[in-house]
Structure 1
């Protein structure tokens, strides 16, 4: 039960952070492109890489609880594939085909690269 509480607490924190980040990007950049969703997914990938890289090298006894809190809970609540998918569909419905394709490719590539960079950073400077 404790593990589920860690996941739920982390998920709540991540979801609130995602909402606040999305509101901030709307104010700063406007609604023309889904900067909020793109940003949380790329940032989430980077943080996941750093966290998992650190966790793998730390040899901590509480690794499973930390993974539940951060990777499953916080980052699971912060990043969002469903909002990304909705953004792509909305762009397609607006007939912004090139923008939708560019956004989809950029989101996947940037998020995966960010995770890879995070792992490299953790392995080099933390682990």
Structure 2
């Protein structure tokens, strides 16, 4: 999870640097300074850490655009590829369910393809 967060922060950092919008105390800047490692083993985060991260994302001028997606990923257990492959017909609002029977993948031939999920349970 920390590697995914680091990737998101890195992309946001580079975009923000290009647009000259980065804050001096940004977590992305801490990654660049080596104060946060992007090669840590994957580990679950605590509810407190989740709330802090979501608060940061919601209040940040750049990352706030990703808040809804990250909130959904935290609270559903969807893989990013499954989330990216969702269509409106996959959302069952009346039953409060999300149908996961496909995922969006990027191939080595630089194309997006729809594939079955990695496991039968989605």
**What's the TM-score once normalised by structure 2's chain length?**
0.25
Q: Which has the higher contact order (CA 8 A, sep 6+)?
A: 1
Write 1 or 2 for the structure with the bigger share of helix: 1
**What's the TM-score once normalised by structure 1's chain length?**
0.24
Write 1 or 2 for the structure with the bigger share of strand: 2
